[in-house]
Chain A
């Protein structure tokens, strides 16, 4: 059963081949057996998961249906879950139990999905390897000496290892797509504003977007049908009709115009990864697509601009952690200032503190124009590059990451880690929808292919990804060590 996609499990549940309780128990048993090695889950909810599974089975017996009814899933530990702890990978929130559900969580609950637990992540979603978690690193199921990517590393590893059928993630600069690439799964980031951010712990509010980690584009479409939509609780949630994302999956790609950015096939890209992506692109030609080179001339500035915008917004968002209303408070504070400073210094990890300080510096008196305003201007240039490209092509395709998953501890220098997101980060600055799908293998490790669509072209991106997955079986490759059916 664990080999099956969400779409296939949905059929098995509907036909009565398996119950949600049986399926949920299968995943819980796998988590109990394998999580010690992978550290993909921070919290596992055995009892409430089985309660939800029983409720899903009862609802089905009463005639209810729905693609996700009874499907066991995991939520990244950045989404608030009522009654279940939400740590955001931080000591600061180690004991935090939210009094409400995030809108995303509420929507999956309403669809009858079962919550198996909360997945590990880089602290406050700041990282590209999942090594910045207070709860320890997650390991990549393809090779446990390697990182799963980040920040949604726990969700990616859990899906890849068959510890859940699907998982949520968040993507501020590549945090869904890069771990999906490293773990050989499908990771989709919708357009900014398509999915509610309410109850999703804030990192950089003009960049953060919730999305999906699962085994196929079809599964991502099923998840998006539940997640997407206007939410009055999120003022940046977009008031725009939600399509049925499964309806256009089978549309023909005949005549599709694919752009491949010269800047994404330049220095720094591993030669074997490049070859694999170029081979994968040939599949699209077979489907009737044409491929042309395009330019994103300001792409090389995206990491620099991002590391002003994201830390600046983070420094403001994370000022709420003051040891007063919730979260960690230091022992025996001398006075109020000592309480603020020591609570924050002891509660936050090194990377979070670095980014708060970079953001504080960029926003401080005398530096605003040189940093924050400059970064916003670069952001405009980056957005203009994409707008110009989409005048010429329908979709932009390239590698998700310059290489395959690296070893734990290999990138101790923060700047080297930041450059991991060189192909993904511009997409967040421009707010576009993008997906990473398995596009090949190098030395036994998966490679992600990155597809970027124009504003709110979610359905088109999923259609183009799905068509590739109908032609190829890269998305069906699994890490053998974690895929023995028990």
Chain B
């Protein structure tokens, strides 16, 4: 499958990454190589094969719907680059 610079820009945006113009050719080439490796899969006929999402053939465990975690809000918020009055601060979204 063709993979070009415009594709890289689109993917980078979806992944919320910024790829500068000076990096774009290199990144496109590298990802193209990786997709080349991945495309070896296409040589095998997998019609009728059941996909395997996960190595364990188990169902999700359920538990009682009760609070088991202690309140660590303060501890967790001190990790934030910018917080105030219990809120996480980000650049202004609305003028």
Contacts and interface: CB of A to CB of B under 8 A. Distances in A.
Contacts of B12: 357
A325 B40 contact: no
A324 interface: yes
A268 interface: no
A364 interface: yes
Contact of A360 (B1, B15, B49, B53): B15
Given A339-B91, A360-B11, A430-B55, A354 B27 contact: yes
Given A193-B56, A335-B91, A324 B80 contact: yes
A379 B57 CA distance: 14
B33 A238 contact: no
Given A99-B72, A298-B44, A354-B31, A377 B51 contact: yes
Interface string A398-418: 000000000000000111001
Interface residues of B, number: 51
Interface string B53-95: 1111010110100001000100110011110000010111100
B15 A315 contact: yes
Contacts of B53: 206, 376
Contacts of B63: 232
A193 B61 CA distance: 13
Contact of A100 (B31, B41, B72): B72
A380 B52 CA distance: 5
Interface string A366-398: 000011011111111101000000000000000
Contact of B79 (A96, A305, A376): A96
A337 B7 CA distance: 19
Given A192-B56, A383-B55, A361 B16 contact: no
Contacts of B19: 345, 353
A360 B34 CA distance: 13
A378 B53 CA distance: 11
Contacts of A429: 55
A293 B92 CA distance: 65
Interface of A is mostly: helix
Contacts of A418: 34, 37
A322 interface: yes
Contact of B16 (A239, A340, A362): A340
Interface in B35-52: 35-42, 44, 46, 49-52
A235 interface: yes
A381 B7 CA distance: 31
Interface of B is mostly: loop
Contact of A381 (B1, B31, B49): B49
B58 A304 contact: no
A434 interface: no
Given A340-B16, A354-B31, A334 B41 contact: no
A136 interface: no
Nearest to B61: A235
B56 A354 contact: no
B80 A414 contact: no
A301 interface: yes
A478 interface: no
Contacts, number: 166
Contacts of B41: 301, 304-305, 308, 374-375, 378
A281 B90 CA distance: 60
B42 A239 contact: no
B80 A357 contact: no
Given A206-B53, A325-B79, A303 B37 contact: yes
A358 B17 CA distance: 12
Contacts of A328: 81
Contact of B33 (A191, A371, A380, A415): A415
A309 to B, nearest CB: 9
B30 interface: yes
A344 interface: yes
B49 A329 contact: no
B80 A379 contact: no
B11 A361 contact: yes
A54 interface: no
B46 A381 contact: yes
A340 B40 CA distance: 34
A337 to B, nearest CB: 7
Given A97-B79, A335-B91, A357-B31, A383 B52 contact: yes
A203 interface: no
B16 A341 contact: yes
A377 B14 contact: no
29 contacts: A96-B79, A99-B79, A193-B55, A206-B54, A206-B55, A236-B54, A238-B56, A298-B44, A334-B91, A335-B91, A339-B90, A340-B16, A341-B17, A344-B17, A353-B19, A353-B27, A356-B15, A357-B11, A361-B35, A364-B14, A370-B1, A376-B53, A380-B49, A380-B50, A380-B52, A414-B33, A415-B34, A429-B55, A430-B55
Given A353-B17, A354-B34, A377-B49, 7 more contacts: A315-B15, A328-B81, A354-B27, A373-B51, A376-B51, A415-B37, A429-B55
Interface of A: 96-97, 99-100, 191-193, 206, 232, 235-236, 238-239, 298, 300-301, 303-305, 307-308, 315, 319, 322-329, 333-342, 344-345, 348, 353-354, 356-358, 360-362, 364, 370-371, 373-381, 383, 413-415, 418, 429-432
